[in-house]
Structure 1
Amino acid sequence: MARWLTVIGIGEDGFSGLGQQAKNAIASAQAIFGGQRHLALVEGHHQAETTAWPVPFAQSYEMIAARQGKPVVVLASGDPMFFGMGASLMRHFTLAEVEIIPFPSSYSLAAARMGWALQDVECLSVHGRPLPILQKYIHAGNKLLVLSDSGKTPLAVAQLLQARGFGRSQITVLEHLGGEKQHIHSAEAAAWQASECADLNILAIECIADEKPVLMPLSSGLSDAHFINDGQLTKQDIRAVTLARLMPQPHQLLWDVGAGCGSISIEWMRMHPSCRAIAIEANAQRQEFILQNAANLGVPSLQLVRGKAPEALAGLEVPDAIFIGGGVTGEDVLQSCWQALKPGGRLVANAVTLQSEIALHQWRAQYGGELVRLCVAQAAELGSFDVWRQALPVTILCSLKIE
């Protein structure tokens, strides 16, 4: 099939900043799609029918497909394949149909203005995405380039940094990069006063910690204090070992069954941007804890299923790994999870009570796996002396599904 659909990245300098290939495609197009701002940038340089993006946006794919075989141009900001329209279109059309002509992305332009090596920078977007996704990237010394959702984003980010104890961080707002309205201004997060900037902006953030920042290490086993909970929490040391047994891998999906406050699924997702998780929880209060913790810890896309296993598991996407933190003695919970697990998947379950421990022993006898008992004690005062305060021992089952 001949390539009939051309996706063109365009900058603030408009038609004049495009290469000859892009200009030729626009001049010969029968139809041009784009935002109102994009269409205005090429006005007077074509004879095509123009269409601004509809609401809801999903209708646009059918509108473009209806013109299959005829020369169509889609205009997008900067590099269409970097948090851009090109990536969305490639889920609906084949490479044999599509020609992509990129322009320098906002990230490239911002890195050039800041003098930052792009390979050393975290490139993020909160355009149409929840702001809390920034949480897991806020570390002392990190440099972030963040594509804003609107002119209100810089103030919201400044407030987020202050709440994390990173008020000394330097924020630079770069508006309308590459165009006549380009404007750049900077300030510390704690001193940020601009309530609103231009909607078209990108943030450059140099993360600088205050004296007492809220630190979120990259390793598994976040402090228990990070999680809102009612006591139903896999404690820090046990959680670190449990996650090691679950072995998070990029692009894999975890079921967190009896999720409590969501600590296991949240830390699973923090291991890699492509890790996904579904938290299954029956308790209404803990369901809200899960949502709050996921937002606070930078993984707001954690999927919550409100219900009790095994009934709540029906119809869920097949997982690569399953953790059962509560309910191993429930009827058919272990069996239902095992049947749902992909071949080669890992099932990890924790037990504290005698009844749940017996269930894991019986399971291992039938299906195999490893059993590990962890005993954790913490030093605590006893009068003028210190003693070990023993937490309840936890038995961990880890089974690999071979078939």
Structure 2
Amino acid sequence: MPPWKKRVSKFDLEDLVVDVGYWFKGSTNRKGYLTEFCELHEAEYMEILQHVSVRWLSLERCGTRILRLYDPLASYFKSANDNQARFRRLQEAFSDPMTEVYLLFFQATIPAFTSFNLLLQREQSSIFLLHDEMANFIRKLCARFMVPTALQGHKQLHEIAFKEKANHLPGRKLNIGFTTRAKLNRLLDDGDITPQQMEKFHEAALAFLINAVDYALKKLPLQEPLLKHAKFVDVRQRLECGVEDALYFVERFSHLLPYHRPQEHDLLSDEFLEYQTMPVPPLQDPEEIEMGSFWAEMATRKHKVTGVRLFQRLPTIAKLVLVLPHSNADAERVFSLVGLNKTKTRNSLALDGTLSSIMTIKMAGLEPCFKWEPSPAIIKASKKATSHYNKEHRS
């Protein structure tokens, strides 16, 4: 998923964390001076984190680290002197009391993006969660700047009039985070900022949230029927679904699911009713259910009297749904893994040979090679293979 817009007014979080990271990167002297300012402010010195643009989740961590060192950093840039353009930008930023407010706002807002992003990056199948999580994500953003009544009564997210000014909360009621609001009020009471600056911040925060919702509505596949029908594989949502959800996949993937005759539909309907009404053992932590294992167990259930399998069709459909990717994160991991193994110094690795074998082993999630202990049978077979190879290649 591409990064959401990060700019609030003229303040850019990504520019700030990159500038701070590069200023202290590789400079022992600058880190030493910062350590002295940390001691002066009775703060624990922590390494400045480096933001990587292709790893968007690092943005939140970098911003949080800057906030934890904010007072020492502000003193450092106000006291030091340098003619570099990056230093002048940082000196100007840390001299502005609103910089900390913007950082606090991002700290309160970005976790909503991060939690949704983490769902897209999960390795286990989560396609059955995607539709509801997309809707919840957008509603959470809307709740930060819209009056509650404007969010009620809308079955479709596209019906929410989030751009209408009449539906927006007044500036002082915007949900910008408790710490952000307290800091903003304190600066205003102390005379460090003017009411105009506060109002400008409210306008910028509102614009950021509106743009984020607009971007999400345009980019997320909220109208994709496959995501809506995939919810039936989640045992926690089975009562909200119907056999038509399973039949959707029978029709869409007709070349893989041979259940097209009316008789098969009737049998599938009976299985679905059994699935909805069957007793499910109480689970200590419903959030930790692994659906792949659940449906593998469902395929083995048998009638106590006849011994016939209770579910002969529904698990097959469910397994097909579970192998559908819910994002492109897995593909990106593969590309990254290829780049880490086929380098400039190892550019002769054959795609259908050594590289393929390396990828297969690493993608299997096995333990590190230095921890792996071969069995006696493997050692014996390896010795035989070595002996055979040596005999064949004797000069």
TM-score, normalised via structure 1 length:
0.27
- The higher radius of gyration belongs to 2
Kindly indicate whether structure 1 or structure 2 has the higher relative contact order, using CA contacts under 8 Å at least 6 residues apart: 2
More strand by percentage: 1
